[in-house]
Amino acid sequence: MTAPTPATPACGCPDFSTGRFEMSRRRMLGTSAAAGGVLAAGQLFGDAFRQVAHGAAPGGNVVVVLSLRGGADGLSIVVPRGDDHDRLASYRRSIVVPESTLLGNDPRFGLHPALAPLLPMWDAGSMGAVHAVGLPAPNRSHFSAMAEVEDADPGSALRVGWINRITGLDMSAGPATSVALGSTLLPTSLAGPAPSLAADQVADLAVADLGVGGALRRTSLGTMWQGSRSPLGTGVRTAITSSERFGSLIEQADTKVHEAAYPAGPLQSVLADTAALIREDLGTSTVAIDYGDWDMHEGLGRADGGWMADHLTHLARSLEAFFADLGTHRSRVTLVTVSEFGRRVLENGSGGVDHGYGNAMLLLGAGVRGGAVRGQWPGLQAADLHDGDLAMRHDFRDVLWEVVSSRLAHLSGQRSTVFPGHAPSASIGVMV
């Protein structure tokens, strides 16, 4: 039985809802432009891509970054047990997840019951979590906070994302190295001078049919634009090279993308495409995808139903299908979730929770030291809270660094480049 696509109430955040509309409009325009062919692709992508004649080596590890946009409520996803559960219940009388329903054998925390499809991974030690994670200082603006997370370089005026900096450290990086799927809008994390691609689905990476003599025409276009350093020239060359590199996957997408194996909903297509891309083994090392609408100011629901339960059910069933779909390639793949902020400890008057601070991050797959929630926990006594929020004990960059440094060999000794100005912290121990 597949999870229903959740009906999303109005979030009550003008900046989030307005931005969501703008993102949809830009996605529509981008998709329309892409359909126009090579020249339109050059205009659409411009300097979001950089042409590279070679590509990263196959067979390497892959880090998938799943953004839970809207500010996911970590206290509903990874719930404290014992005395802190009693405190949380006193703050959230109508929406707290009952302790008796929590999953997992961690004595301090339990998972929301909607995450049951992922319990085998948790019990096997290939799924874990870190709690009380956040930005260096609270930022309760959706877009400002997410930009800070994706740029991960506080105070810098350069628009270069942390994944783009990682890609720039890979001397073999090519168009397939860092990919964003699910949108033609390049996320901030991938923006910058290193090569990166954004597409709604892998089939969209095709260059429009050039008619009789298409191969010759592509060669001619490549020669024509070879010396151009304009955004149009860069886009044309990259569109052609990317189309050739992804050719087999694009041409056989109907059989190589196993969309029917996934539950219907927002993650169905994007995770099926991600798994197909990884199985194709084109040298991809990072994939960025989104699962939005976590801005639950109202109607969050109870453990047995509602907005949160529906979202987590779809997330869990989709990730279960994703790791099954990877087959033998799952030994190469690590997935980590990020969100711009957590939610207030206190339930509001609309059965939801407002913008907060500390949050939880989930980690699944290869190299994860799972079966437990790692790191420090500040507690939920009134004196432990940060202005009514869960306090932060771990900078989100510490978690990301443990993931990428353990999985991507070329990052050895490059922490200051990936996360400039961030002082090393004690290891959380979430990766083996």
The pLDDT tens digits of the residues spanning 338-377 come to 999 999 999 999 999 999 999 999 999 999 999 999 999 9
Tell me how far apart the alpha carbons of residues 71 and 337 are, in angstroms, rounded to a whole number. Answer: 12
354 neighbors 388 (Cβ within 8 angstroms)? no
Checking if the pLDDT of 207 tops 60, the result is no
Checking if the pLDDT of 316 tops 90, the result is yes
Give the contacts of 132 (CB within 8 A, at least 6 positions apart).
Answer: 358, 359, 360, 375, 376, 377, 378, 390, 391, 392, 393, 394
Checking if the pLDDT of 9 tops 60, the result is no
Tell me how far apart the alpha carbons of residues 197 and 274 are, in angstroms, rounded to a whole number. Answer: 13
- At residue 419, the pLDDT reads 97
Checking if the pLDDT of 46 tops 60, the result is no
Q: Is residue 176 included in any domain, yes or no?
A: yes
pLDDT tens-place string over residues 220-261: 766 777 777 776 676 666 666 666 778 889 889 999 999 999
Q: Is residue 43 included in any domain, yes or no?
A: no
Q: What is the CATH number of the domain that holds 74?
A: 3.40.720
> Across residues 58-73, what is the average pLDDT?
95
Q: Is residue 225 included in any domain, yes or no?
A: no
Q: Report the domain count for the chain.
A: 1
Please state which of the ranges 49-58, 76-85, 132-141, 160-169 shows the lowest mean pLDDT. Answer: 49-58
Q: Is residue 297 included in any domain, yes or no?
A: yes
**In 3D, which of 54, 53, 41 has the Cα closest to residue 235?**
41
Q: Is residue 45 included in any domain, yes or no?
A: no
Checking if the pLDDT of 5 tops 90, the result is no
Checking if the pLDDT of 408 tops 50, the result is yes
Q: Is residue 66 included in any domain, yes or no?
A: yes
> What is the residue whose two structure tokens read 């798994």?
275
Q: Is residue 119 included in any domain, yes or no?
A: yes
Domain that residue 188 falls in:
14-34+55-206+249-418
Of 282 and 107, the structure prediction assigns the larger pLDDT to 107
Q: Is residue 240 included in any domain, yes or no?
A: no
Give the contacts of 415 (CB within 8 A, at least 6 positions apart).
Answer: 401, 405, 422, 424
pLDDT tens-place string over residues 330-339: 999 999 999 9
Please state which of the ranges 39-43, 160-164, 209-213, 297-301 shows the lowest mean pLDDT. Answer: 39-43
Q: Please give the helix or strand (H or E) that residue 127 lies within, else none.
A: strand 127-134
Helix (H, G, I), strand (E, B) or coil at 247: helix
